[in-house]
Amino acid sequence: MIKTTQRYDAINAIIKQRWGQEYSCYIFRVRPDGDYYLKAAPEIKKRNGKRNWVKAKRVQLILSPNQIRRKAMEWEAETGLCYECGGDGIELVGYSVTNGQKVIPCRYCTGTGTRV
């Protein structure tokens, strides 16, 4: 079984809500106090396909884990899907070059894909 969906990206959802749809996170660090330090800017693409950000419109943001979890719970309430697995009921636990993806049933929704 191949895992195709990803968990909901609450951090970029918060950034897009505050500054607009064109913004995305490009630096992500966890501070010693447990908060997340982020930098975001409108994303543009260069000719060679590498990601690049507009320097003139950069913003900084510090988010607590509670803010991120609250946004994830809002998404779960809207869609009815599990935040951790993205709604497909499986969780990626590893990857092997010879065997491919290692997946297990999602620990949070017990493999149903629906909100707990």
65 close to 34: Cβ distance less than 8 angstroms: yes
* Per-residue pLDDT tens over the stretch 68-82: 889 888 988 998 988
pLDDT score for 11: 83
Does any domain span residue 15? yes
pLDDT score for 47: 61
Mean pLDDT of 60-66: 88
* Surface-to-core class of residue 29, CB atoms within 10 Å of its CB (0-12 exposed, 13-18 middle, 19+ buried): exposed
Does any domain span residue 107? no
Does any domain span residue 61? yes
| Domain carrying residue 58 | 10-79
Residues 6+ apart with CB under 8 A from 57: 23, 41, 42
* Per-residue pLDDT tens over the stretch 88-105: 888 888 888 888 888 889
pLDDT score for 5: 58
Q: What is the pTM of this model?
A: 0.70
Does any domain span residue 22? yes
* Per-residue pLDDT tens over the stretch 3-47: 555 667 888 888 888 888 788 887 788 888 888 888 888 877 666
Does any domain span residue 68? yes
Does any domain span residue 4? no
Query: Measured between alpha carbons, how far is 99 from 80 in angstroms, rounded to an integer?
Result: 32
Show the tokens assigned to 93: 């636990």
**Total of domains in the chain:** 1
